[in-house]
């Protein structure tokens, strides 16, 4: 009888402990926060706020030929009337065609979890939908629509931070947007995905192990300069300068 009681108490302890480390819904609570900076920040902390690194521009593609697609969120503002929605203004670039857009990001679900790597921190994920309307007066414009996932953590001060805790790990990614672009003019839709560090559903494009690396057969589709920027010669310096251009700023 005593053994059974001990077993019963141990089982309760394990179950209760396990509940503390499993996912819990955070959708209602996230309404109290403004998480707009998760999509606009220039720098973030890694390894539990011990080091700050630059956040690069998102990587993206459009169409079955994996044409390079660039996007920049110029401003993200929380909707005062819908605390799960954010207004977004920005620009897209395909080849040399730049389009303004505006639209919304809407959170559908938010969750918290803990893992063994950072046992004192709550990590989390927000999932939802986005729709961005490019300016119809621009050539080659359309609507971007799909789903997204953004990872965050809550630090010791109770602040929500961009989750770059494992940024040094192979295959790290964040802010994963996956959907379509649909032309105003023709109604034709193309797959259009982008994200930080990696691109969701990159299929044959991304052949990198530790980090994103476009396959040779797609370099001609806007990725040549990206690859050249990795070098250490005069051409690489020129390529890096182009990669670092703030093309979304009007002069």
pLDDT at position 13 over 50: no
pLDDT attached to residue 49: 60
Burial of 4 (0-12, 13-18, 19+ CB in 10 A): exposed
The pLDDT value recorded for residue 230 is 83
At 45 the pLDDT is 85
Domain tally, the chain: 1
DSSP 206: B
Tokens of 28: 């209602």
6: in domain: no
CA dihedral 136, 90, 250, 199 (to 10 degrees): -110
Is 184 among the domain residues?
yes
Q: What is the pLDDT of residues 161-175, one digit of tens each?
A: 999 998 888 889 999
Residue 42 vs residues 15, 32, 53, 58: alpha-carbon distances, Å: 41, 23, 9, 11
Question: Could you tell me the pLDDT band of residue 11, with boundaries at 50, 70 and 90?
Answer: very low
**Does residue 90 belong to any structural domain of this protein?**
yes
Q: Report the C-alpha gap between 52 and 126 in whole angstroms.
A: 23
For residues 50-59, average pLDDT: 89
177 found inside a domain: yes
Answer whether 49's CB lies under 8 Å from 134's CB: no
C-alpha 88/C-alpha 198 separation (Å) is 22
Asked, for residue 189, whether it belongs to a domain, the answer is yes
- DSSP E strands in 95-239: the ranges are 97-113, 122-134, 142-154, 160-162, 174-183, 189-196
pLDDT at 18: 40
Please tell me the distance from the alpha carbon of residue 202 to that of residue 60, in angstroms, as a whole number: 9
Q: Report the C-alpha gap between 154 and 160 in whole angstroms.
A: 5
Could you tell me how far CA 95 lies from the centroid of its own chain? 22
Better pLDDT: 225 or 21: 225
Confidence category of residue 251, pLDDT binned at 50, 70, 90: low
Give me the DSSP letters along 94-130: ETTEEEEEEEEEEEEEEEEE--TTSTTSEEEEEEEEE
Looking at the domain assignment, is residue 224 inside a domain?
no
Average pLDDT for residues 34-44, to the nearest whole number? 96
Beta bridge partners of 59: 195
Look at the pTM and tell me if it is higher than 0.85. Answer: yes
Kindly report which listed range (9-13, 28-32, 230-234) carries the lowest average pLDDT score.
9-13
Instruction: Please give the average per-residue pLDDT across 108-115, as a whole number.
Output: 96
- Reported as type and span, the H/E element at residue 9 is helix 2-21
98 has a pLDDT exceeding 50: yes
Cβ atoms 98, 247 nearer than 8 A: yes
| The pairing of beta strand 59-62 with beta strand 67-68 | antiparallel
DSSP 58-96: PEEEETTTTEE-EEEEEEEEE-SS-TTEEEEEEEEEETT
What is residue 51's predicted lDDT score, i.e. its pLDDT? 78
Range(s) of the domain holding residue 188: 23-210
Query: Considering only CA atoms, which of 89, 67, 73 is closest in space to residue 191?
Result: 67
- Cross-strand pairs, 45: 52
Does position 62 have pLDDT exceeding 90, yes or no? yes
pLDDT tens-digit series, residues 177-222: 999 999 999 999 999 999 999 999 998 999 998 899 999 999 999 9
Tens digit of each residue's pLDDT (9 = 90 or more) over 140-162: 999 999 999 999 999 989 999 99
Does any domain span residue 243?
Answer: no
Residue 247, domain member (yes or no): no
> Is residue 106's pLDDT more than 50?
yes
Q: What is the pLDDT of residue 169?
A: 87
């Amino acid at each position: 009888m005593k053994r059974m009681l001990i077993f019963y108490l141990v089982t309760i302890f394990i179950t209760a402990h396990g509940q503390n480390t499993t996912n819990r819904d955070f959708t209602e609570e996230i309404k109290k926060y403004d998480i707009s900076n998760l999509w606009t920040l220039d720098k973030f902390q890694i390894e539990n706020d011990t080091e700050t690194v630059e956040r690069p521009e998102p990587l993206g593609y459009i169409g079955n030929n994996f044409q390079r697609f660039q996007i920049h969120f110029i401003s993200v503002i929380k909707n005062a009337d819908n605390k799960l929605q954010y207004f977004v203004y920005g620009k897209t670039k395909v080849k040399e065609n730049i389009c303004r857009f505006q639209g919304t990001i809407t959170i559908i679900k938010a969750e918290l979890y803990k893992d063994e790597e950072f046992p004192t921190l709550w990590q989390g994920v927000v999932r939802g939908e986005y729709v961005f309307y490019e300016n119809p007066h621009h050539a080659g414009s359309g609507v971007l629509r799909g789903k997204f996932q953004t990872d965050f953590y809550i630090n010791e001060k109770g602040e929500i931070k961009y989750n770059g805790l494992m940024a040094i790990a192979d295959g790290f990614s964040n802010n994963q947007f996956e959907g379509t672009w649909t032309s105003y003019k023709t109604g034709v839709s193309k797959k259009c995905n982008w994200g930080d560090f990696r691109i969701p559903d990159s299929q044959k494009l991304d052949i990198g192990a530790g980090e994103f690396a476009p396959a040779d057969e797609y370099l001609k589709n806007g990725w040549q300069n990206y690859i050249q920027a990795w070098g250490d010669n005069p051409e690489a310096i020129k390529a890096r300068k182009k990669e670092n251009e703030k093309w979304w700023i009007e002069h």
